[in-house]
């Protein structure tokens, strides 16, 4: 940024207006020219209308004999006539061949510059004539400030306009004004007015620059936001697809687990009931939602490994042989192996593997002891036992909840986690009816 721009930005803007980046310089110039063009065109129509009125007044002055008493009135008439003719010519020129790439030609720029120079020069000459008749410089001030307010010119462009008019104005009034005291006053006033008008032009120009940069910044941020939204929508879509795929794989394996149970009337609905008991315990302990999801999934899938156990062993009504029992005891590991292929089940693999561990270390498959057994596996072990004891088997009838509580208390610290046994007893005393509803 040049020293001049820094100075103006510091004095006029209170901050750095910034340079228009090269890649949007053309767009800025185009916007600036178009804005100045439409404003100049509107002013030109107003100028034509006002000048017609002034011409009528000039004709009245002529009839009253003022033109003969002072030749200035005749010159004022000429300036007023030119203020009709020149804008009309400019408007006609700009409308000729309008359809042929209008926006891509330099016509708007030509119109803006021609009209700005014409209005300021006309008002300068009018002021010089008026100086002769009334000793006034009002029209000069109006012409200069009209252009300053209505157009957003670049600093050097506006400086050129004001400088030329200022020099003509100073030379003109020096020629026509004979009173040195009045002349000195007009020198001072004219100089101050022109300097202030140029500062006004600068303020408006840099305000326009600031607005343009802000607009581009907003457009840029809007674009980035839209891109981020698109990315988010795409990610969300992929996530939905993944969730659907997950749901599908989950549904398949859950259906498989339930289908396995349904083969045997004695185990039909076992997993669903285990999940309900286990979830009641989890809620009683205020476990997290994440843990409750794991508990539900593990409850449904804890015996999925039995899919690989022959029916002759699964449905045997007699005591299993050592070999048969060995095969039966392999179901937690088989279940872990089956579920290890499923992404959604990776967090519940330890629960499936260890749901037959005992608190005293006498369980299977790894003989883990006490706190070494995953907490949720210990929890499901109790829910599993509760349902097993309250369900009929080929070799015995279903037990009652009172028998279950006795068994749990008897085995607290050996087969079961004593804390979880106490939790279930506490749960039974407060939600007895809820639990009994699930009893078959
Ligand atoms: Fe099991």
CA–CA separation, 127 and 133 (whole Å): 10
Where does a domain end: 229, 255, 276? 229
Within-domain flag for 123:
yes
CA of 385 to the centre of ligand 1 (A): 9
Where does a domain end: 208, 229, 250? 229
CA of 434 to the centre of ligand 1 (A): 24
Within-domain flag for 60:
yes
Q: What is the pLDDT of residue 369?
A: 95
CA of 329 to the centre of ligand 1 (A): 8
Within-domain flag for 237:
no
DSSP summary character for residue 414: T
| Residue 78 shares a structural domain with residue 32 | yes
Confidence bin at 18 (pLDDT 50/70/90): low
Which pLDDT tens digit goes with each residue over 148-177? Answer: 888 888 889 999 999 999 999 999 999 988
CA–CA separation, 255 and 301 (whole Å): 10
| Out of 80-84, 219-223, 431-435, least confident range | 431-435
Secondary structure class of 416 (helix, strand, coil): strand
pLDDT at 282 over 90: yes
Within-domain flag for 243:
no
Which pLDDT tens digit goes with each residue over 28-73? Answer: 888 888 888 888 888 889 989 999 999 999 899 888 888 888 778 8
| Residue 269 shares a structural domain with residue 414 | yes
CA of 265 to the centre of ligand 1 (A): 16
Residue numbers of the domain that contains 394: 263-438
CA–CA separation, 136 and 143 (whole Å): 14
CA of 177 to the centre of ligand 1 (A): 117
Query: What does the pLDDT average to over 239-249?
Result: 74
Query: What does the pLDDT average to over 94-104?
Result: 63
Where residue 367 falls (left for φ over 0; alpha for ψ -120 to 50; beta otherwise) is left
Within-domain flag for 363:
yes
Asked if 133 and 73 touch (Cβ cutoff 8 Å), the reply is: yes
pLDDT at 288 over 70: yes
Q: Look-up: residue for tokens 């021609």?
A: 114
Average pLDDT score, the chain: 85
**What CATH number is given to the structural domain containing 394?**
1.10.3210.10
Asked if 245 and 344 touch (Cβ cutoff 8 Å), the reply is: no
Q: What is the pLDDT of residue 263?
A: 66
| Residue 185 shares a structural domain with residue 273 | no
| Residue 74 shares a structural domain with residue 192 | yes
Q: Look-up: residue for tokens 């285990």?
A: 274
| Residue 336 shares a structural domain with residue 393 | yes
CA of 345 to the centre of ligand 1 (A): 17
The end-to-end CA distance of the chain, in Å, is 86
CA of 440 to the centre of ligand 1 (A): 19
Within-domain flag for 267:
yes
| Residue 194 shares a structural domain with residue 71 | yes
Dihedral angle sign, alpha carbons of residues 24, 27, 28, 29 = positive
CA of 352 to the centre of ligand 1 (A): 8
CA of 59 to the centre of ligand 1 (A): 116
CA of 388 to the centre of ligand 1 (A): 10
Q: Which residues face 412 on adjacent strands?
A: 416
Q: Look-up: residue for tokens 């999801």?
A: 293
| Residue 318 shares a structural domain with residue 432 | yes
CA of 333 to the centre of ligand 1 (A): 10
CA of 343 to the centre of ligand 1 (A): 22
CA of 258 to the centre of ligand 1 (A): 14
CA of 299 to the centre of ligand 1 (A): 10
CA of 365 to the centre of ligand 1 (A): 11
CA of 264 to the centre of ligand 1 (A): 15
CA of 392 to the centre of ligand 1 (A): 16
Within-domain flag for 244:
no
DSSP summary character for residue 105: S
Residue 431 structure tokens = 């939600």
User: What phi and psi values does residue 54 have, to the nearest 5 degrees?
Assistant: -65, -35
CA of 432 to the centre of ligand 1 (A): 25
Closest CA to 342 of 240, 254, 235: 254
Asked if 355 and 332 touch (Cβ cutoff 8 Å), the reply is: yes
Within-domain flag for 157:
yes
CA of 302 to the centre of ligand 1 (A): 6
CA–CA separation, 167 and 188 (whole Å): 13
| Residue 225 shares a structural domain with residue 267 | no
CA of 164 to the centre of ligand 1 (A): 101
pLDDT at 409 over 90: yes
| Residue 170 shares a structural domain with residue 84 | yes
| Residue 282 shares a structural domain with residue 215 | no
| Residue 28 shares a structural domain with residue 162 | yes
Confidence bin at 11 (pLDDT 50/70/90): very low
Number of structural domains (the chain) is 2
Which pLDDT tens digit goes with each residue over 297-331? Answer: 999 999 999 888 888 888 777 788 999 999 999 99
Where does a domain end: 203, 229, 255? 229
Residue 232 structure tokens = 């988010």
CA of 366 to the centre of ligand 1 (A): 14
DSSP summary character for residue 358: -
Q: What is the pLDDT of residue 176?
A: 87
| Residue 100 shares a structural domain with residue 11 | yes
Run of H or E residues at 391: none
| Out of 156-160, 231-235, 342-346, 361-365, least confident range | 342-346
């Amino acid at each position: 940024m040049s020293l001049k721009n820094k100075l103006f930005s510091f004095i006029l803007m209170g901050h750095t207006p910034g340079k228009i980046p090269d890649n949007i310089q053309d767009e800025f110039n185009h916007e600036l020219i178009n804005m100045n063009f439409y404003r100049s065109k509107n002013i030109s129509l107003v100028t034509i209308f006002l000048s017609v009125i002034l011409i009528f007044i000039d004709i009245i002055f002529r009839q009253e004999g003022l033109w003969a008493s002072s030749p200035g009135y005749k010159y004022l008439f000429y300036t007023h006539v030119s203020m009709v003719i020149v804008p009309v010519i400019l408007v006609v020129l700009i409308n000729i061949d309008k359809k042929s790439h209008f926006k891509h030609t330099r016509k708007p720029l030509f119109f803006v510059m021609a009209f700005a120079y014409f209005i300021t020069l006309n008002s300068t000459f009018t002021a010089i004539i008026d100086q002769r008749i009334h000793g006034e410089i009002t029209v000069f001030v109006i012409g200069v400030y009209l252009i300053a307010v209505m157009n957003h010119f670049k600093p050097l462009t506006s400086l050129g306009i004001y400088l030329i008019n200022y020099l003509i104005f100073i030379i003109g009034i020096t020629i026509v004004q004979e009173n040195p005291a009045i002349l000195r006053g007009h020198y001072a006033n004219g100089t101050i007015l022109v300097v202030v008008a140029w500062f006004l032009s600068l303020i408006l120009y840099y305000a326009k620059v600031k607005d343009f940069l802000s607009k581009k910044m907003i457009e840029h941020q809007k674009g980035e936001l839209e891109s981020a939204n698109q990315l988010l929508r795409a990610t969300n879509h992929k996530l939905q697809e993944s969730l659907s795929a997950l749901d599908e794989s989950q549904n398949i394996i859950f259906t498989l687990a339930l289908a396995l149970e349904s083969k045997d009337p004695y185990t039909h609905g076992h997993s669903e009931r285990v999940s309900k008991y286990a979830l009641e315990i989890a809620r009683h302990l205020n476990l997290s939602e994440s843990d409750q999801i794991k508990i539900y999934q593990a409850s449904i899938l804890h015996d999925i490994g039995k899919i690989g156990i022959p029916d002759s062993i699964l449905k045997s009504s007699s005591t299993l042989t050592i070999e048969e029992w060995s095969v039966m005891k392999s179901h937690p590991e088989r279940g872990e192996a089956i579920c290890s292929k499923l992404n959604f089940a990776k967090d519940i693999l330890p629960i499936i593997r260890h749901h037959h561990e005992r608190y005293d270390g006498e369980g299977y498959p790894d003989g883990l002891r006490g706190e070494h057994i995953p907490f949720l596996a210990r929890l499901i072990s109790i829910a599993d036992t509760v349902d097993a004891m309250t369900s009929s088997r080929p070799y015995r009838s279903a037990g009652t909840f009172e028998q279950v509580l006795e068994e749990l208390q008897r085995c607290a610290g050996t087969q079961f986690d004593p804390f979880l046994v106490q939790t279930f007893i506490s749960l039974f005393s407060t939600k007895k009816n809820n639990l009994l509803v699930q009893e078959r």
